[in-house]
Chain A
Amino acid sequence: MPLLEVQGLTTTFNTPKGPVAAVDGVDFCVDRGEVLGIVGESGCGKSVTSLSVLRLVPNPPGRITGGSVRFDGQELLSLPEEQMRKVRGNRISMIFQEPMTALNPVFTVGNQIGEGLRLHRGLSRHEARERSVEMLERVGIPAPRMRVDEYPHQLSGGMRQRVMIAMAIACEPDLLFADEPTTALDVTIQAQILALLSELRERTGMALVMISHDLGVIAETADRVAIMYAGRVVEETTTTELFRAPMHPYTQGLLASLPRVGQGSKGRLAAIPGTVPALTELGPGCKFRDRCTERFAACDGPEPPLTLAAEGHSVRCHLYARAEARA
């Protein structure tokens, strides 16, 4: 049984133009100790997916309108809020993209790391502080005894992100959601944070959902990848397979649009035409069809389901549904 099993997850937001499904029937699972990468561009629903799993979508305007989220055999969506609070920050944690807005500016970092420990583990103030020092040390912050009493504004961006990681892993969660954890950081600091996450994972065996728009980060960290487009998972397979043989025209386009070494330099990049559609403008049918280079008659029909097109490789595209029908 997978650690996390998400099925048909749908989160709807009320907008002036009517309700819009930012996450629309998303399925994925994460095994114990596994790293799942979720890739997509702005507005594809990757962040809302993780917020939905943790039931942190602000309501109103957002609401989880369907699906199921089973964590370690337990359905989270129907859990009373009080029970949910015991899961959040304890068994499932999250780190956010922008550490300055995710940390509370008026509490010391020790206070914020210790909060979860006191709440979930019943540690005393003193014990929590000691443990916070340990956590700061574990995430590689120099002089942790001094830093534990500092406020977020006294730390650099990289250190703040380390503090957020320390907060998230203080209770040794089974699953960590990392939502663009390095996007706000410079590349040398990004490399440090990614190395830290993989070292922590090896040591604690926690599973990780790495949400990113950066295919390089995903290639280096994830075991499996789900590609999202306009609120849907459009392709899902192992990282090796995805980069070796991408199936969905969107995935192919994303990979082709990256500048590559030795690609007859100064050549043109293979750009995906058009722009990401507004969710309010989407009609029925495949959501990628207006930008797709492979569009054919079937694409104007009903939207294709996510189907297994090869072993361990699912894709949501009529090209493969057709192949399957022929076989």
Chain B
Amino acid sequence: MSGAPLLEVEGLAKHFPLGGGWLGGERKLLKAVDGVSFALAAGELVALVGESGCGKSTTGRLILRLLAPTTGSVRFRGEDLLAADARRMKELRRDIQVIFQDPYASLNPRMRIGTILEEPLVVHGIGNAGERRERVHEVLGQVGLTESALGRYPHEFSGGQRQRVCIARALMLGPSLVVADEPVSSLDVSIQAQVINLVQDLRQARELTILFIAHDLNMVRHISDRVAVMYLGRIVEEGRTEAVYQNPLHPYTRALLDAVPIADPTVRRQRQLLSGDLPSPVDLPPGCRFQSRCPEVMDRCRKEDPQLIQMDSVHRVACLLHG
């Protein structure tokens, strides 16, 4: 990484209060995200992976300020996003866009595609009607849709095409950072490849920086430059994608990679299955968050909370086995 990062997240946390606490009783906290730090260099595609409930989507929403963090900071081009007032934030949003998982829920069913795509330009007061139309046409072509789409409604499109519309909408304002929250997981296998190819083409053509939130580890390996693995609100391992996949250091990362089914019947492997389920992120015990499922748990793990430490120039891990 050279120069200052485009996005810098430090000590980000989101604690949701859960009932109780009004008359006496101690207030319980669900620590969805609990001290997450990472950075994205311009042009990088970083994947945030983990199982449901690990806090990866919440992290994405905190960065977009769709949720207010409990603590921590998010810097975009060096500017503190959390300190920005509403007006400044609106300006910044031109540069930071989002693609959601479910293209059925994230498009207004009563708006035509043309209106949906024009909307960001209208909201930000960009261009006159003619210029906006021109811009809509331009972006439409880039995502592989034809002009006949403009007068139609979302329900007339398949999931893959709707996701193209969502991608087009995110690109209308020419952002430099896109947060893509599980952009292909609701799509069929044969369509996923189309959308992933589109994301890669656009990334190159527009020098986009992308935070790619996903749980499909094969896809992440294919598309990302770096990967951060989350477990119960923390990043437990982070590094260059190939470094992490070829030499996973955290026992959780190892188990996660080991659990991915391989589409090759000639490969038969002995899995080390993790026992149990993800513990509740409320009332976590002291020590390491992974202790209850870790095959290599030691006494120390029940007392010390491991911090993310740098193993080499491209790889960080939070595990007491490593220092």
Contacts and interface: CB of A to CB of B under 8 A. Distances in A.
A41 B221 contact: no
Contacts of B221: 259, 261, 265
Contacts of B6: none
Contacts of A192: 273-274
B262 A259 contact: no
B277 A258 contact: no
Interface string B206-226: 000000000101110111000
Interface stretch (B16-24, B173-181, B186-194, B301-309): B186-194
A244 B190 CA distance: 19
B228 to A, nearest CB: 17
Interface string B158-174: 10110000000000000
B106 interface: no
A270 B161 contact: no
A279 interface: no
Interface stretch (A24-32, A62-70, A209-217): A209-217
Interface string B231-263: 000000000001001000000000110111111
Contacts of A273: 194
Given A186-B51, A191-B271, A259-B221, A216 B190 contact: no
A189 B222 contact: no
A275 B161 contact: yes
Given A158-B277, A188-B274, A41 B260 contact: no
A255 B188 contact: no
B287 to A, nearest CB: 20
A93 to B, nearest CB: 23
Interface string A231-258: 0000000011001100000000111011
Nearest to B54: A186
B188 A269 contact: no
Given A240-B266, A271-B194, A275-B161, A216 B188 contact: no
Interface string B14-38: 0000000000000000000000000
A215 B189 CA distance: 9
B271 A258 contact: no
Contacts of B158: 275-276
Nearest to A189: B277
A276 B273 contact: no
Interface string A188-219: 11111011000000000000000001111111
A195 B263 contact: no
B200 A275 contact: no
A14 interface: no
Given A188-B256, A266-B200, A258 B273 contact: no
B196 A269 contact: yes
Interface residues of A, number: 46
Contact of B193 (A188, A191, A270): A270
Contacts of B108: none
Interface residues of B, number: 40
A187 interface: yes
B189 A187 contact: no
Contact of A272 (B51, B190, B261, B265): B190
Contacts of B273: 188, 191-192, 195
Nearest to B51: A186
A239 B271 CA distance: 20
Contacts of B263: 215-216, 218-219, 243, 255, 258
A219 B51 contact: no
B193 A269 contact: yes
A135 to B, nearest CB: 19
B320 interface: no
B52 interface: yes
Interface string A271-288: 111011000000000000
Contacts of A261: 221, 245
A300 to B, nearest CB: 22
A244 B266 CA distance: 9
Contacts of B255: 188
B190 A41 contact: yes
B191 to A, nearest CB: 7
A241 B172 CA distance: 47
A268 interface: yes
B265 A220 contact: yes
Q: Which of A42, A214, A240, A243 has the most CB of B within 10 A?
A: A42
Nearest to B261: A216
Q: Which of B215, B223, B262, B277 has the most CB of A within 10 A?
A: B277
A255 B271 CA distance: 24
A48 interface: no
B188 A258 contact: no
B77 to A, nearest CB: 26
Contacts of A259: 196, 218-219, 221-223
Given A186-B215, A220-B265, 14 more contacts: A41-B189, A186-B278, A187-B259, A188-B259, A190-B261, A192-B274, A195-B273, A218-B263, A244-B266, A254-B189, A270-B193, A271-B196, A275-B161, A276-B158
25 contacts: A157-B277, A158-B277, A187-B217, A187-B256, A188-B259, A189-B277, A191-B258, A194-B261, A195-B271, A213-B188, A216-B218, A219-B264, A220-B262, A240-B266, A243-B266, A257-B189, A259-B196, A259-B223, A261-B221, A261-B245, A268-B197, A271-B196, A275-B158, A275-B161, A276-B158
Interface of A: 41-42, 156-159, 186-192, 194-195, 213-220, 239-240, 243-244, 253-255, 257-261, 263, 265-266, 268-273, 275-276
